[in-house]
Amino acid sequence: MTTATSDAAPRQKLRDDDPEANLRLNPVKVAIGILGMVVIAWALGNMFLAFGYYPEKFGSKLVIGVLAVIGGVGGAAALFYFLNMFVEGLPRRLSEGFIPYAFVLPGLALVTLMLIYPTFQTVNYSFANSDSTAYIGFANYRTIFADNAFWTSIGNNVLWLLIVPAIVVALGVVVAVLADKLSATGEKVAKSLIFLPMAISFVGASAIWGLIYAYNNPGQSQTGLLNAIVVGLGGQPQTWLAISTAKLNSILLMVILIWLQVGFGMVLLSSAIKGVPEDTIEAARIDGASELQIFWKVIVPQIRGTVITVFVTVFILVLKVFDIVYVTTNGSYGSDVIANLFFNKLFAASEAGQATAIVVVLLVAVIPLIWFQIKHFKDEEAG
Amino acid sequence: MARSLMKDGRPRSPFSIVTMVVLALLWTIPTVGLLITSFRSRDDAATSGWWTALFNPLGTQWTTSNYQGVWSGQDFGSAFLNSIVIAVPATIIPIMFAAFAAYAFTFMNFPLKELFFLLIIAVLVVPIQVAFQPMLNFLGPRGLGISGQYMAVWLLHTGFGMPLCIYMLRNYMSTLPRTIIESAKIDGCSHYQTFWRLVAPMSMPAIAAFATLQFLWVWNDLLIAKLFLKSDNATVIVALQKLLGTQGQGQELLTAGAFISIIVPMIVFFSLQRFMVRGMTSGAVKG
């Protein structure tokens, strides 16, 4: 071994020279590692508590923000540094076995605390009373199942799930295919404009669409675009979001979500369509296939995976749709959905038992999706 | 008639051009309407549609008073700062934790690895509503007592963003050449050094993609902000939601408030769109 390489890799050299070192504990490293982790955790905890209880001592919120970023990011980095030092200080065989857990467990612990533990706790609370202090058996389930509002919400959710993901995928494919036929600049501009709503919050989008669905009394000039068009064509202005006939109001709210999500579908589908090998299309064209036949018989089978991905992602989003309904109708006029019903039970009515029972219903609805995701992942790993 | 050709030699498609122009307009009109309304005086906005200002720009009283009113009068200035103070750490902290986990899932073998990863995939789908009642208890006065503070919301967003972050980064890292990682090991680099010097820099596209998605999600979130923040710490989205509830008085402020709430995500979106699209399509968000 030359000196140059041994300089570059002193640790390796140490191991080569002294095989016993691998087996020994390095108490200094272990001690510094543990001490470092404790000090960092203590300091961060206190800093964040100080932000919470004495915000005025920091002058402005910007100072807090900057300190939080430095503390949060630097703290997390330092925590991993000392954790790594601790593990490296252990005898080598132990350390090799430990290090993967040192990397995985901090993240996994947070997921466990924020999602896995609450899942079980929510199921637990759904059998308890309104402030989770005593068990009351299935009473919450009996209450919500006997409530018409619950079944209306379920019906609306089903309608949202049937309509929104399908239309997002269909429009996404149409936009992706047509944009592909534009010039490079045209494609870029058109896609950016359609993608843009993805940056807008559900609340912001509801405010934006409020200007379209707005209603003024007949005779006044209409400030809502939809009513202006209707009146312009000789019709009567309508209070759009109050019309539950044929679920019109729910459908108009779905339009908002579709407007937000088509860009997401388009981006994924467009990249899938661009990935379809040109020669398969060329071959079909030589065989005399029409453009429509090429689309259905050649392109669609090859982008099937992406279509499913977009569909499932939007499906999951729709299942939890809340903000749009909450800020527009808050569930009145027969437009309620499960997530909004849940929020009102939890927040407005303080019925924790019934609220958690509603979440359990939602949870049961996603079980097939969990199964699907895992199967999909296993297929992908195997393929 | 021969179809005209574009610069790159492909035939021009009039049908595509017309349809795409119509779709792009349909997708843009609502936002344009908001932008125009936010600069109109209260009387104008109440008596005529925003499009009249578009057709008659000189006869319209343009004003910025809505913005002044909402920024100071409705505390959007303070809410705006809150949003930044919440969104930036809530974007960066999950990445720190997830990147280490993704590294282990990609480059290390250990017992229970598959079970842990399947757990991550399973919770990708679990609705975050399951967390609310237990977390209100855990973070609230009955537990840690930090509900209402920024920290509670950082923690929640970190936990909720983690599964997707681990999943995206792991998918991206598994496309990195393994030989580089192995040669680093032969050179005597520890996993920690390999992570910082090689894997983290090489994963930047996926990190940027997730950061954009997470920032948009945190900034635009209403549920968590409403349930876990006291009113001093409320975000712009919560402020906007409160404004949406008011009828009549203050209606003219709504559009200005909405525009303030969407300007930052739009800037982030436009400057990082490249990364986001690349990250989303390069197998980062599959499944």
Structural domains in chain B, sorted by start: 14-63 (no CATH), 69-284 (1.10.3720.10)
What is the token pair recorded at B211?
């950061």
Q: Inform me whether the C-beta atom of residue B224 falls under 8 Å from chain A C-beta atoms.
A: no
CB contact under 8 Å between A118 and B130, yes or no, is yes
Q: How far apart are CA A314 and CA A200, in angstroms?
A: 16
Task: Give me the count of residues in chain B.
Answer: 287
Q: Quick check: A237 and B49 in contact, CB under 8 A?
A: no
What is the token pair recorded at B165?
């972050």
CA contacts within 13 A on the Cβ side of A248: 9
- Asked if residue B284 has pLDDT above 70, the reply is no
With H, G, I as helix, E, B as strand and everything else as coil, classify residue B247. Answer: coil
Of residues A52 and B231, more confidently modeled: B231
Phi-psi category of A220—alpha, beta or left, where left has phi over 0 and alpha has psi -120 to 50? beta
Nearest to A327 among B78, B126, B244 (CB): B244
- Asked if residue B287 has pLDDT above 70, the reply is no
Of residues B155 and A53, more confidently modeled: B155
Q: How far apart are CA A61 and CA A54, in angstroms?
A: 11
pLDDT at B20: 92
- Asked if residue A11 has pLDDT above 50, the reply is no
Q: Give the pLDDT band of residue A9 (cuts 50, 70, 90).
A: very low
What is the token pair recorded at A203?
């609340």
Q: Which residue has the tokens 């200035």?
A: B77
pLDDT at A166: 96
- Chain B residue at shortest CA distance from A124: B134
Of residues A69 and B131, more confidently modeled: B131
Nearest to A376 among B7, B127, B287 (CB): B287
Of the candidates A289, A378, A261, A309, the one whose C-alpha atom is nearest the C-alpha of residue B286 is A309
Q: Quick check: A99 and A90 in contact, CB under 8 A?
A: no
Contact residues, A window 26-55, toward B, CB-based 8 Å cutoff: 48-49, 51-52
Average pLDDT of span A114-140: 90
Long-range contacts of A301-308 (CB under 8 A, 24+ apart): A302/A272, A302/A275, A302/A276, A303/A173, A303/A269, A303/A272, A303/A273, A303/A276, A305/A272, A305/B286, A306/A268, A306/A269, A306/A271, A306/A272, A307/A169, A307/A173, A307/A269, A307/A272, A308/A376
With H, G, I as helix, E, B as strand and everything else as coil, classify residue B119. Answer: helix
- Angle at the Cα of B27 from the Cα atoms of B23 and B32, rounded to 5 degrees: 130
Residue B31 carries which side chain, given as an amino acid letter? T
Helix ranges, chain B (H):
14-38, 42-47, 50-55, 65-68, 76-107, 113-125, 132-139, 150-173, 178-186, 191-194, 200-202, 204-220, 223-228, 236-245, 251-279
CB contact under 8 Å between B150 and A64, yes or no, is yes
Least confident of A64-78, A151-165, A194-208, A232-246: A64-78
Q: Inform me whether the C-beta atom of residue B57 falls under 8 Å from chain A C-beta atoms.
A: no
Average pLDDT of span B165-172: 90
- Asked if residue A279 has pLDDT above 70, the reply is yes
pLDDT at B93: 87
Q: Quick check: A341 and B89 in contact, CB under 8 A?
A: no
Q: Inform me whether the C-beta atom of residue A63 falls under 8 Å from chain B C-beta atoms.
A: no
Of residues A66 and A364, more confidently modeled: A364
pLDDT at A348: 85
Most confident among B3-7, B42-46, B240-244 (mean pLDDT)? B240-244
Q: How far apart are CA A309 and CA A314, in angstroms?
A: 9
pLDDT at B59: 76
CB contact under 8 Å between B92 and A73, yes or no, is yes
With H, G, I as helix, E, B as strand and everything else as coil, classify residue A203. Answer: helix
- Chain A residue at shortest CA distance from B111: A97
Average pLDDT of span A111-116: 93
> What pLDDT digit, counting tens, does each position of A143-179 carry?
999 999 999 999 999 999 999 999 999 999 999 999 9
Q: Quick check: A237 and A230 in contact, CB under 8 A?
A: yes
What mean pLDDT, rounded, does chain B reach? 86
User: pLDDT > 90: what percent of chain B?
Assistant: 38
Contact residues, B window 95-134, toward A, CB-based 8 Å cutoff: 96-98, 100-101, 103-105, 108-110, 113, 116, 118-134
What is the token pair recorded at B160?
């909720």
Of residues A142 and B13, more confidently modeled: A142
> What pLDDT digit, counting tens, does each position of A215-271 carry?
888 888 888 889 889 888 988 888 888 888 888 999 999 999 999 999 989 988 998
Domains of chain A (ranges, CATH numbers)? 19-125 (no CATH), 149-352 (1.10.3720.10)
* CA distance between the termini of chain A: 43
pLDDT at B48: 82
- Asked if residue B282 has pLDDT above 90, the reply is no
What is the token pair recorded at B26?
């349909």
Q: Quick check: B137 and A132 in contact, CB under 8 A?
A: yes
What is the token pair recorded at A17?
């020279």
ipTM passes above 0.95 = no
Average pLDDT of span A370-381: 86
Of the candidates B28, B50, B18, B24, the one whose C-alpha atom is nearest the C-alpha of residue B37 is B50
Nearest to A309 among B33, B128, B287 (CB): B287
What mean pLDDT, rounded, does chain A reach? 86
List the beta bridge partners of residue B229: B148
Average pLDDT of span A175-190: 89
CB contact under 8 Å between A65 and B222, yes or no, is no
Please give the DSSP secondary-structure letter assigned to residue B5: B
- Chain A residue at shortest CA distance from B282: A271
Q: How far apart are CA B147 and CA B141, in angstroms?
A: 8
Of the candidates B258, B219, B228, the one whose C-alpha atom is nearest the C-alpha of residue B242 is B258
- Asked if residue B11 has pLDDT above 90, the reply is no
> What pLDDT digit, counting tens, does each position of A321-367 carry?
999 999 998 888 889 999 999 999 988 888 899 999 999 999 998 89
pLDDT at B248: 59
pLDDT at A19: 54
What is the token pair recorded at A29?
């490293």
pLDDT at A10: 45
Residue B95 carries which side chain, given as an amino acid letter? I
Q: How far apart are CA B186 and CA B188, in angstroms?
A: 5
User: pLDDT > 70: what percent of chain A?
Assistant: 94
Interface test with A, best of B81, B82, B262, B278 (most A CBs within 10 A): B262
DSSP letters spanning A5-25? HHHH-HHHHHHHH-GGGGTS-
Q: How far apart are CA B161 and CA B87, in angstroms?
A: 12
Residue A316 CB neighbour total at 10 angstroms? 18
Of the candidates A333, A353, A355, A356, the one whose C-alpha atom is nearest the C-alpha of residue A344 is A355
What sign has the CA pseudo-torsion B206, B211, B213, B214?
A: positive
Average pLDDT of span A209-215: 89
Q: What are phi and psi of B246, to 5 degrees?
A: -85, 135
pLDDT at A20: 57
Q: Which whole-number Å values give the CA distances from B16 to A176, A181, A299, A307, B264, in the listed order?
A: 11, 7, 18, 21, 32
